[in-house]
Structure 1
Amino acid sequence: MSLIVLIGVTGSGKSTVARELSERYGLALLETDAAVEARLGASMHSLIVQRDPRLPDTAREEADRLLSLDEGIVTLGASQPLDPATASSIDRARANGAIVVELSADLSAVSRREGLGAPRSVGLGAPRSVLTQLMKQAREAYASVADATVDTSERTPQEVAELVARACKLASDY
């Protein structure tokens, strides 16, 4: 068995698919966000909103720690593969046999999953436009480290997990 690393934008299904794979194959579920929260004693939401100065280094260190393991399913935060140090950690993990799978989703699916269709003040700007630009930048970084990409837009978590398992040779192709 090997290390499976799931990357993708927020709302692409990383946590949901990781839980499905963990249960299905008895692999440890290793989420960098959860590791950061445990280490800093606060939720990711509050760490981000409060702009906690410890967050970037802690996220980088936890990603590096989890990516150095031999087995399990690691989920990285959406922006982590964009960080050069974390991208290097991903490359080292791949050199040691890890398989990196990008979970992609179109804007419509991400917007639906993240509740961006809800009414909001016009003072908040155009979140879909901002998200579109962020997704484009992220996809470029993901392409440089991913071994495979699975589109989650119109698939159930179980279907995505099956495709990830096939890409990682956990399940047969037939």
Structure 2
Amino acid sequence: MRSRPSAAVVMDGNDVFFWFDNWLDQGKLIDITGDAGTIHLGVPRTARFSDIVSDGNWNIRDRRNRLFPSLFRQINEAPVPFSENGKDLMLWRHSDEQSKIYFSSSKTWQQIRDKREAVPWSKVVWFTQGIPRYSFITWLALKNRLSTGDRMRNWGMQQHCTLCGEPDET
């Protein structure tokens, strides 16, 4: 299973929006509940954590909600952010076990790409002194993806070889 790079946030409650920040690790709550969520949970659309936390407890109404009972339960089980914890801190995932405060495009690429075995001809096509245009055309030829006459005929286009006039170019 491929993991996606993400950022972990340490919240202080003053800068985090209840509906529009991904603080529950499920996405934005407004996207989950829609506009009806603000009514059913009794939390204003512009609410920050500091607006809905009092005395270390969540201040969310439970209107015997039939629409979002599991979400209501998850919110109540989530730890309440305290301003004593400090400001928000953005951490970038560098691997499954490691997060750092700086962004690395190479680490992000390693996490989002599909990793496959190297093919035996890769060093022949992709080498440091190779001309990228020729390497790309060679790669297309090895993958049988060039727009040759037989492939274009499958697309409904009839074309012959411009050099020799052969109708069955391969």
> What range is the shorter-chain TM-score in?
under 0.3
With structure 1 as the length reference, what TM-score do the two structures score?
0.22
With structure 2 as the length reference, what TM-score do the two structures score?
0.23
Higher relative contact order by CA 8 Å / sep ≥ 6: 1 or 2? 1
Pick the structure with more helix per residue.
1
